[in-house]
Amino acid sequence: MVNNPVEKTFIDALWKIYRRAERPLPWDKNNGNLPWNDPDFSERMLREHLDQSHGAASRTDAERTAQLDWFWQKLTLRPGSTVYDMTCGPGLYAVPLAQRGCHVTGVDFGPASVQYARELAAQKGVTDSCEIIEQDIRDADYTGANFDAALFLYGQLAVFPREEAQQLLKNTADALGENGRLVIEMLNQEHVDKENSNWWYTDDTGLWGDAPFLHLGERFWNEKEKRSTERFHILHLDTGQLDEIVLSDQTYAIDEMTNMLKTVGFSTVSVYKAWDGLPVYDAEEWVVYVAEKSQTLIGNQ
């Protein structure tokens, strides 16, 4: 018999892992997606965003500068342009665009990132032209705002089911004015890892916590749906607490994404593989789409 409460919690957690379902359900309402709006998780995620040693959460300063120059050209931005930055994180694109003279509205779900973005805008003297809003992007309604451009970067659209992704694209189209342009960065379906796998590691700091933990990960590929689903079991060794998180990523073939964009109201879609040759370390893994609400051709398809 186990009398120590921590030991009992620990043993219960191990049995829960042992009895786990063979495959997790995608977008499980009980444990699906990352806890973006949890204050502690948000603080740890912010730390990852600002870490220049890797590009797992945000790209490095040099890569973002190259991207911002690209956006300026492909989105025909200029001082006075209005920009909608969806899932803006800590404002690493929103604030520099405001510094270039744009009026930016950024929306994000993570409280720590939102606070950092607001402080960064104040530090750079662009508070009046850079509004950062803490909100789930699915609840944001800017219909008729007539933005000149919108950003949906780093594959964030992929974390939503197809139906929600389609609605988000429609909401974005409705928020853009005539000739408004949307840039979306998505993983290239042809390059996505399509193997099932599992892994484990231990650490005492990182995205999952700042005390000793055991991370057990599993990845499953659904060939029919072209979707990956990852299940993370995080066992906190000091307390025996077990966190289970399921993260799904929907991939899209280029034709499917192009058709989705045209279905919701974009007239032309330009496709740029491998980040159009920009010096991004994992450029080959990405496809960038620029969609426009007019008949003007803005790039090579």
Q: What residue ranges do the domains of the chain occupy?
A: 5-30+193-250, 44-190+252-292
- Model pTM above 0.85: yes
Q: What is the pLDDT along the chain (301 residues), one digit of tens a residue?
A: 556 888 899 999 999 999 999 999 999 876 667 888 899 999 999 999 999 999 889 999 999 999 999 999 999 999 999 999 999 999 999 999 999 999 999 999 999 999 999 999 999 999 999 999 999 999 999 999 999 999 999 999 999 999 999 999 999 999 999 999 999 999 999 999 999 999 999 999 999 999 999 999 999 999 999 999 999 999 999 999 999 999 999 999 999 999 999 999 999 999 999 999 999 999 999 999 999 997 544 444 3
CB-count exposure of residue 73 (10 Å: 0-12, 13-18, 19+): exposed
Q: For residues 82 and 72, what is the distance between their CA atoms, to the nearest angstrom? A: 12
Determine the Cα–Cα distance for residues 4 and 8; give it in Å rounded to an integer: 6
At position 113, the amino acid (one-letter code) is S
Q: Which two tokens stand for residue 120?
A: 């960064």
Can you say how many angstroms the Cα of residue 273 is from the centroid of all Cα atoms in its chain? Answer: 19
CA 34 to chain centre: 11
CATH code 3.30.70.1520 for 44-190+252-292: no
State how far the Cα of 110 lies from the Cα of 41, in Å rounded to an integer: 9
CA distances from 294 to 41, 90, 131, 151 (A): 41, 31, 27, 18
